[in-house]
Structure 1
Amino acid sequence: MKRLRFALLLLLPFSLAAPAAATDLLAIYRAAQDEDALFAAARAEHRAGQEKIKQGRALLLPSLTFATNTTFNDITTDNASPFISGGNKRYNTHGYGFNLVQPLFREQNWAAYNQAELQTAIADTNFRLSRQDLILRVAQTYFDVLIAQDTVQLTGAQKSAIAEQLEQAKRNFEVGSATITDTYEAQARYDLILAQELVAANDLEVKRRALQQMLNTAVGELDALGAHFDLRPPVPEQQQAWIDIAHQNSLPVELAQAAFELAEREVERSRGGHLPTLDIVAGHTKNVQTGGNFGATTVTSKTVGLQLNMPLFEGGATQSKWREAEANREKARQELENARRTAELQTRQAYLGVATGMAQVRALQQAMKSNQSLLEASKLGQEVGVRTNLDVLNAQQQVFATRRDLLQAQYTYLLSHLRLKAAAGNLQEADLEWVNQALH
C-alpha cells in the first residue's frame, strides 16, 4: 500500500494538465525508508539483534523439560525358578517425567549474558549507521540524477549554440566574408556535441534506473538547485571541534568499542570453562509396567537436590579456546584503534570538503561571470572582424563547461555537509531537510 501511494505521488505531476511540484529530496528519502532493500535488510537484522538479550537472559533462568516413552516388551523365559515363572510374556512399559534445572553458579552463562547485552547494543548502533548510510545513498543517487539532467540540458543548449554558429559560418562563406575553415570547425564541433548528447542521455537513463532500483518504482521530475544557492560554513567552524565530536560520537568507533568489549567478555567466558557449575535439579517421573514376572506395577519418583559438575580434562580444548579468545581480543583492540584513526581522517576530509567546496563554488561563480563576458566580447569581436568563429566556439564551450563544473561543485558541497555530519556521528533527517531547502 505504501508503495502504491508513493507511486501515485510520483506520477501525479504527469496526470494533471496544470503544472505540479516536482518530487523533492525529502520525499525520496522517506519513500526509500519503506522501499530500499538494503535498509529493509538492516531493519530485519536489527530486529534479530534485539533477541540476543532475551537469549542471554534465558541462560540464567530455570529450564523445564518433559520426556515420555513407551516400550513394547516380548520376553521368553526358558528356565523357570520358584521366583520367576517360565514361558513367554508380552507387555507394555510406558512413563513420563519432568526435569527442572535452575543454575546457581555458571560463570560461562553470566559471561554469555553480558555478551548478549553488547550484541544488542551493537545491533542498535548498526541500525543507526544504516540509517545514516541511507541518507547518504539517497542524497548521492538524487544528485547523480540531477547532474545527469543538467548535463543533458547543457549539452542541448550547447548544441543549439553551435548549430547557430554553423549556420552563420555557412552564410558568411556564401557571401565571401569567411573561409571554408570556419564552416569545417563549426561542423566538427556540432558532430562532436551530437556524440556527447547521446552519452549524456544514456548516463541520465542509468542514473534514473539506480534511483528507481532504490525506490522500486519510476520517478518523475526532481527538484533542482534553486537560483539563490546559499553557502554556509559548518557549525562549529573549527576543524578540531569536529574531530573531538567524532571521537565521542562516531558510530564506527562505537561499533569497534563494543566489539572490543565483546571480545573481552569472550575471554572471560573461555576462562569459565575451567570452573565448576552448580545447579538445583528437581525431577518428577512416573513409569507404568503392565506385565512381567511381578505383574503390573506403577512407580512414581520425586527428587530435588544440588548437582555439582567439575571439568577435569577436555583434551586441551578449554585452554585452546582461551588462547583463541585472547588473540581475538588483541585483534579487536587494534581494530578499535584503526576505527579511531579512520574517524579522524574521514572527519578532516569531510570538513575540508565543505571548506574547499565553498571556495570552489565562489570561484566558479566568478569564473561563470568572466566566461559569459568573454563570450559576449567574442561575439562582438566576430561581428567587427577581430575575432574568428573558432574564438566564439571556444568561448561557448568554456561557458558550458564552467556551468557544469559549478553545478557539480554545488552538489559536492551539499554532500560534504552530510558526510561531515555522518563522520561526526550525528547525521539526522533534519540535516537532509536543510539540503532539501536548497532544491527549491
Structure 2
Amino acid sequence: MAMTRRDFIHFSGLATLGLALACDGEEAPAPEPQPSAPSALWFYVGTYTSGGSEGIYLCKLDLATGGLERVGVTPGVVDPSYLLLDAKGQHLYAVNELVEFEGQPSGAVSAFSIHPQSRALTFINQRASRGGAPCHLELDAQNAFLLVSNYVGGNVAVLPLQTGGGLGTAVELQQHEGSGPHPNQTSPHAHQARLDAANRHVLVSDLGTDKIMVYRFDAARGALTPAPTPFFATAPGAGPRHLTFHPNGRVVFSINELNSTVTALAYDPELGTLKELQTLSTLPEGFTGQSYCADIHVSPDGRFLYGSNRGHDSLVVFAIGPDGALTLVEHATGGIHWPRNFALDPTGAFLLVANQRGNDILALRRDERTGRLTPVGQPLAIPAPTCLAFAPAAS
C-alpha cells in the first residue's frame, strides 16, 4: 500500500523518537528551518480588451509596503473579464465575455498553464460557455469540473477539466426562466455559481429573476439537479449578483446589485436551504444618486464583510457578529472609482480594488482589529480592470 503524506509524517515522528531513545539521552538533531513568509504576492488582472487593455496582466504586491508593480501581460485574450486559478496555482481560467463564439450565441472560456517560476501564462485551449456574456467561474473541490455563469444566456454550464488542465465540452446546462420588475430584469441573468464546502450544493445568483437558485451537484458526472427547495427569492428588484460563504459554512452573504443591499442568510449545508437573517443597505443614509453593487468578500478571520458600490464609489465594511448579524463599520471612499471587483490578499493584510472606470488598481491596508481600510502607495495603471486573482505563494 502506498504511504500517504500523513502516514509519512507519523512514521517519521516515530523514527525520530526511536533514534532519540537509542542515543541514550543524546540531544536530538535540530529541526529543519521552516520556509520564511513571502515578502510579495503575485496576482493576475482580468480586463476588457474592448475597453483598451491588452489582455491578462501579471502584477505583484509588496507585503511590507503595499506597493504594486506590473510584471507582464498575456496579450490577445479577448475580454477576459473574470479569472480563476486552481488551488495549486498551476492553471488559470478566464471567461471571454462575448455574445457570439464560433457562429453561435455563446461566450467562451480559455485555459492557461502557469509557469512555476515566472508565472507567465501559456494558452492550452478554449471552449464555448454555452451562453452569451459569461461572467463568473467556479471550480469544484476535486478540480474536475468548471462551472460557468452566463449573464446574457441566463444559464449555468459545467465544463469538465482534462488531464493537463485543458477544458472539455460542456456536460451540463441549466437554463433559467423568469424576469423581475427592474428595467435590467427583462430576462434571467445568471451572475455567479458558488459551491459549498462539502461540494454538494451549488448556489447560483440570478440577477434577472431575483432568485438564488439551489442545485445538487453530482461530483462524479458534473450534473446539476434542482434541490428540493430549488431557490431563495430575494426582494423584488433586488438583483442578487454575488454571494460569499462565511468560513463557518453556515452563513451566506448575498450582495444585491439593483437595490444596493446585502442580505445575511442562514445556510443549511445538509438541505441546501437559505433563510433570511437580515438585509441592510450598502449605501450611506441620505445618499440619493444611482449606485450598483458588484462584489462581496469575507475577511480570512471571518470577522468582517466587504462589498463594493459602483456610483457611490465606495467599499462598505460591516462587522460580522457571532450569529452572522452585520453592523456597519464604514464606507471607504478614497481613490475608489467604479469598483467592479476587489480581492483580499491571502494574509488578510491588504485589499486590492479593480477600479474599472478609474483604469487602475488601488491597494488599501486593512486594520485586522477594526476592519477599516486605508489607501497606501500609488494606484497601478491598468486599462479597464475587472477582476483580481491572487496566485499561491511560491514554494
Larger radius of gyration: 1
Q: Which has the larger helix fraction?
A: 1
Give the shorter-chain TM-score range.
Answer: under 0.3
Normalised by the length of structure 1, the TM-score is: 0.18
Higher relative contact order (CA 8 A, sep 6+): 1
Normalised by the length of structure 2, the TM-score is: 0.19
Q: Which has the larger strand fraction?
A: 2
